[in-house]
Amino acid sequence: MKFAVFLDIDGVLNTRTTCEHTPDGYTGIDDARVEILAKVIKKYESVDLILSSDWKRMSPEEADYIYLCSKLEKYGLHLSGKTVDHWYNRGEGICKYLEEHPEIEDFVILDDNQFEFKDFEKLWERLLITDGIERVKFASNTPAIETIIFRDYIKLFS
C-alpha cells in the first residue's frame, strides 16, 4: 500500500523555542523531531514524503533547502515531491497532488495550521495539528483510521 505524508516544517520539525538556526538565519530543524518522524515512517512499507511547507518555494540549490534535505537524510528520510499552492491554499495544493498521483492510497497531513483544510473532508480527517511533532492532535472529531494509527506511532516514539 502506497502511503503519503504531507509535511509542513515550521511548527512540526521545530517550534518557536527551537534554538538552532538555518544557514540563512531562520529557525532551524530539531534532530529529535526528525528522529520521531523517521521512526514512525519506518513502520510503513512504502511512504512518499511530500513537502507541503513553504520551504518548498526555495530552489534546491539554496543553502536552507540543502540544510533541510541533509537534516532529513541524517535519519534516512528523503522528499519524494512537493505540492504546488495557489495563494497559500495548502489544501488545494494537496488535492491537486493526490489527483496527479492516484497510486497514493492513503495519507496524513502534518501541519501546525488549519489553512483551508476544513473545506475538504478527506483532508480534514487526515490532518494532525502539531505544536512540534510530539504534541499532536486530530483536527477532525472523526479522524480517519490511518490518522489514528499515525498519531499512535508518534505517541509511541516521542
Give the one residue of 4, 5, 6, 8 binding Mg ion; rule: CB under 5 A. Answer: 8
Tell whether residue 91 is a contact of Mg ion (CB under 5 A). no
Of 42 and 118, the one with the shorter C-beta distance to Mg ion is: 118
- In angstroms, the Cα distances linking 13 to 20, 71, 119 are 11, 10, 25
Select from 102, 132, 114 the least CA-distant residue to 10.
132
The rounded distance, in Å, linking the Cα atoms of 144 and 137 is 13
Shortest spacing between CB 85 and Mg ion, in angstroms: 13
The C-alpha angle with vertex 144 and arms to 138 and 153, in degrees rounded to 5, equals 65
- How many residues interact with Mg ion (rule CB under 5 A)? 4
Give the one residue of 7, 10, 123, 139 binding Mg ion; rule: CB under 5 A. Answer: 10
The footprint of Mg ion on residues 114-133 (CB under 5 A) is: none
- In angstroms, the Cα distances linking 121 to 42, 68, 143 are 27, 30, 10
What the block records as the C-alpha cell of 31 is: 534532530
The footprint of Mg ion on residues 29-88 (CB under 5 A) is: none
Task: Give phi and psi for 45, each to the nearest 5.
Answer: -70, -45
Q: What is the secondary structure of 3-30 as a DSSP string?
A: EEEEE--BTTTB-TT---B-TTSSB---
Shortest spacing between CB 126 and Mg ion, in angstroms: 16
Of 8 and 92, the one with the shorter C-beta distance to Mg ion is: 8
Tell whether residue 11 is a contact of Mg ion (CB under 5 A). yes
Of 17 and 142, the one with the shorter C-beta distance to Mg ion is: 17
Of 10 and 85, the one with the shorter C-beta distance to Mg ion is: 10
| Site of interaction with Mg ion (CB under 5 A) | 8, 10-11, 112
